[in-house]
A and B are shown apart, each in its own frame.
Chain A
């Protein structure tokens, strides 16, 4: 039972299992949870491999159809069906890969309705959609030949499809020519970011020519692999012809690329010793120069090993060409490199595995190849140790493959962030002290703060005052805060409790950052392990969980304030914390909550004194940032803040 095909299928099903697990997380938790994509690298492996390389790998379909139906080389007819099946599956893979990559995958139908006819991407989308339809119709006869579709209605459709074969083939060639080249044209928009060894104003010609060579080699390799896995006879008579054709196309591609570089005067870059120059020759050599040279020898062309090696080189090299264009040679800011996450690789491998499984299914059940796929019936061996051998393969296989896929999916789940990406922690640092001035603004009593610049001091008449520079995440924008001024205005030492609303144990007027420890994320204040230690392990449980019959959660536990005596402010501006202290909100939210709430109240109480200045963003933030802050400020439900303070509207 354990032959080549079973091992291959087991591996493929395992990849499909991993794909299923990753898909679940990707579509419920988003791109950020599973990929290394970012705003700087929005195009990663899924575009570079699944879409760019996927379309090119499927080029065999139109190349073989043209060879047989247009150029009339009947000898190659046996290659048409597998080539069209590969193309069909390849394009499905492209569409599915795109679904994974789109941030809003449910909008994939938009190009059908919203036409943007200036966009290359629109042309690609429409061509791919139409070509997928054409390929389905081209392949449909193979399915309809199956006895399952013996009904007259299917047979009439089959007859119709056979009649329109030539128009379909022509449509396929036209559509392929259009979008194989336009995939290259996509890069015309970024001359500054693509390295000059890859950027050219005729990228679309490179893409088209390379796709033809790649398509030919793909047909060769998949033919060889199928015969290896299914014990078919290799059609050795077809190999030399395809070899020489591929050689010519690949040489043409090499001459075009080097010629283009020479004409643009950038050929020197290929020899300047940079990593890009090595990559360029490695990729071009593997994809074209080496196989095209080897294929010139008759002995290589007519040997199975030789053709397999040449085809493998071209395929890997051309995939490399697509990846170089969309990832490697695409410039990014320093420190913003991109390498695909394992989940991205798993999705690409999984989609390809799905395609191969469907390919195998069609080969086994339909007449894709002339030679029938003979699955050996095989006598069941009677061996008590291997009970499964007694099972006929059609019963043993589903058991084996479903178990393999399930195990792989569950193993993948271990390493996936099932509950979404972990929030990025931004620890908050303490405010620093600087010297500055309080400067009167045009209206009323409102004063703005300014930091001392070097050289200010001798010029200024008044002496500078100490100011807090509040800058929790130490970025370039900070808020100046006149702590002493606030103490004076709000009533001296009695006013501390207006803002310092909660104290750490053995501390008085704890600073904001001591509890609001993260810039954006809420932070838990409670440390269960620490309390267990301080309360003598298991003996201390009843201190906080007095009733053993209750569920032990925060709601049923003793309130924090019952042990931590009087750390709470009574006349605080904002809402008093719950007696069981829950998570402390992020630093930014906490500061806005406190400052903005009070400023709004003061402005409402004394409208004449501050005009509307006190309520504005630039009351605290640098005025230069004012308009920007207002635009970028997250929508805050201000009514909620006021109601919380019992002021009403």
Chain B
């Protein structure tokens, strides 16, 4: 099997299956979360939700004003990383050309120079995010394996994409680098709904969920104990 056949497979069935998994998997997350919110609200003892506060907090976390206030450098680095990671895959001229081939329509692209710059920024920011996570004790203690791994995995398609676009820098063959690029991109499609990257759709709901958690009736803790058969033990 030549690498061309493998590439064809990765760009065909694997990509479509991955895209379907991404869309449906994220849709599943949203549906389950919404349903959970409604369910929790129905059971809440106190149904007055401070809507304005929740909306402000949600927006604050979504647009990182909260994070910037807490730790400026970490926050800025994350902000730049997100901008690059969101813009480049969607608005890269080469990607839009591929969409145009299969869908029949495209959309305005970023200038290639800007895309290149953002790609390099994304790779550097991903690495520094991991370094920052390791350096700061509090974030190190709070991190799971995927918190370290995911930024680096996200950086792979960006690094390989840069080498595909700039053959003079590419120490390997063009086909092989394209293979790595497409494969890591496909892999991400499958990983997004299964890892923390699903925060791309779940983030707007987190504030309302933690708000609702405070609205359970006062005696609900004892009921949990009852349900577990540990009614008289301290929780």
Q: Could you list which residues of chain A lie within 8 angstroms of chain B, going by C-beta atoms?
A: 21, 379-380, 382, 395, 398-399, 402-403, 406, 409-411, 413-416, 418-419, 529, 532, 537-539, 541, 548-553
Contact of A529 among B4, B13, B14, B111 (CB under 8 A): B4
Which residues on the A side are within 8 Å of B32 (C-beta)? 398-399, 402
A409 touching B227, Cβ below 8 Å: no
Bound-state CA distance A532–B14 (Å) is 26
CB-CB nearest 6 A-B residue pairs: A538-B167, A413-B17, A410-B21, A541-B167, A549-B112, A418-B16
Q: Mark B3-22, 1 if CB is under 8 A from A, else 0.
A: 01000000011101110110
A403 touching B28, Cβ below 8 Å: yes
Bound-state CA distance A16–B165 (Å) is 42
B228 touching A413, Cβ below 8 Å: no
Bound-state CA distance A410–B28 (Å) is 14
Bound-state CA distance A474–B165 (Å) is 45
Bound-state CA distance A411–B190 (Å) is 11
Which residues on the B side are within 8 Å of A416 (C-beta)? 13
Q: Give 15 pairs: A residue, B residue, CB < 8 Å, sorted on A.
A: A21-B20, A379-B228, A402-B31, A406-B25, A406-B28, A409-B20, A410-B18, A413-B13, A414-B13, A416-B13, A419-B12, A419-B16, A529-B175, A538-B174, A548-B112
B228 touching A382, Cβ below 8 Å: yes
Bound-state CA distance A633–B93 (Å) is 43
B229 within 8 A of A: yes
Which residues on the A side are within 8 Å of B165 (C-beta)? 548
Given contacts A415-B13, A551-B93, 6 further A-B contacts (CB under 8 A): A398-B32, A419-B102, A539-B167, A539-B168, A551-B97, A551-B112
Q: Mark B162-196, 1 if CB is under 8 A from A, else 0.
A: 00011110100111000000000000000000000
Bound-state CA distance A537–B173 (Å) is 7
Which secondary structure dominates where chain B touches chain A?
Answer: helix
CB distance from B24 to the nearest CB of A (A): 5
B14 touching A538, Cβ below 8 Å: no
A418 touching B170, Cβ below 8 Å: no
Bound-state CA distance A539–B166 (Å) is 10
Interface size on B, residues (CB 8 A): 37
Asked if A538 meets B13 with Cβ closer than 8 Å, knowing A403-B28, A406-B21, A406-B25, the reply is no
Asked if A548 meets B166 with Cβ closer than 8 Å, knowing A379-B228, A379-B229, A398-B32, the reply is yes
B39 within 8 A of A: yes
Which residues on the B side are within 8 Å of A398 (C-beta)? 32, 35
Which residues on the B side are within 8 Å of A411 (C-beta)? 17
A380 touching B13, Cβ below 8 Å: no
A410 touching B20, Cβ below 8 Å: yes
CB distance from B73 to the nearest CB of A (A): 32
The chain B residue with its CB closest to the CB of A407 is B21
Contact of A414 among B17, B167, B174, B227 (CB under 8 A): B17
CB distance from A342 to the nearest CB of B (A): 15
CB distance from A82 to the nearest CB of B (A): 31
Bound-state CA distance A552–B166 (Å) is 11
Bound-state CA distance A414–B109 (Å) is 30
Asked if A380 meets B227 with Cβ closer than 8 Å, knowing A403-B28, A413-B16, A549-B112, the reply is yes
B94 within 8 A of A: yes
A549 touching B113, Cβ below 8 Å: yes
Which residues on the A side are within 8 Å of B4 (C-beta)? 529
Which residues on the B side are within 8 Å of A551 (C-beta)? 93-94, 97, 109, 112
The chain A residue with its CB closest to the CB of B39 is A395
CB distance from B234 to the nearest CB of A (A): 14
A553 touching B173, Cβ below 8 Å: no
Which residues on the B side are within 8 Å of A538 (C-beta)? 167-168, 170, 173-174
Q: Which of A380, A413, A415, A541 has the most CB of B within 10 A?
A: A413
CB distance from B173 to the nearest CB of A (A): 6
The chain A residue with its CB closest to the CB of B35 is A398
Bound-state CA distance A402–B230 (Å) is 33
Bound-state CA distance A402–B36 (Å) is 15
Q: Mark B140-167, 1 if CB is under 8 A from A, else 0.
A: 0000000000000000000000000111
Which residues on the B side are within 8 Å of A418 (C-beta)? 12-13, 16
CB distance from A483 to the nearest CB of B (A): 38
Which residues on the A side are within 8 Å of B111 (C-beta)? 549
Query: In chain B, residues 66-84, which have Cβ atoms closer than 8 Å to a Cβ of chain A?
Result: none
CB distance from B179 to the nearest CB of A (A): 13
The chain A residue with its CB closest to the CB of B172 is A538
CB distance from B97 to the nearest CB of A (A): 5
Bound-state CA distance A539–B167 (Å) is 7
CB distance from B122 to the nearest CB of A (A): 19
Which residues on the A side are within 8 Å of B227 (C-beta)? 379-380
The chain A residue with its CB closest to the CB of B95 is A551
Q: Which of A416, A529, A538, A541 has the most CB of B within 10 A?
A: A538
CB distance from A189 to the nearest CB of B (A): 41
Q: Mark B96-124, 1 if CB is under 8 A from A, else 0.
A: 01000010000001011100000000000
Bound-state CA distance A399–B28 (Å) is 9
Which residues on the A side are within 8 Å of B20 (C-beta)? 21, 409-410, 413
Asked if A410 meets B94 with Cβ closer than 8 Å, knowing A532-B174, A541-B174, the reply is no
Query: In chain B, residues 41-98, which have Cβ atoms closer than 8 Å to a Cβ of chain A?
Result: 93-94, 97
Bound-state CA distance A21–B16 (Å) is 11
Asked if A414 meets B12 with Cβ closer than 8 Å, knowing A406-B25, A532-B174, the reply is no
Which residues on the B side are within 8 Å of A550 (C-beta)? 112
Bound-state CA distance A50–B112 (Å) is 55
Contact of A553 among B97, B112, B167, B174 (CB under 8 A): B97
Which residues on the A side are within 8 Å of B18 (C-beta)? 410
Bound-state CA distance A403–B13 (Å) is 20
Asked if A537 meets B174 with Cβ closer than 8 Å, knowing A379-B229, A419-B12, A529-B4, the reply is yes
A409 touching B24, Cβ below 8 Å: yes
Bound-state CA distance A539–B170 (Å) is 10
The chain A residue with its CB closest to the CB of B113 is A549
The chain B residue with its CB closest to the CB of A552 is B94
CB distance from B189 to the nearest CB of A (A): 10
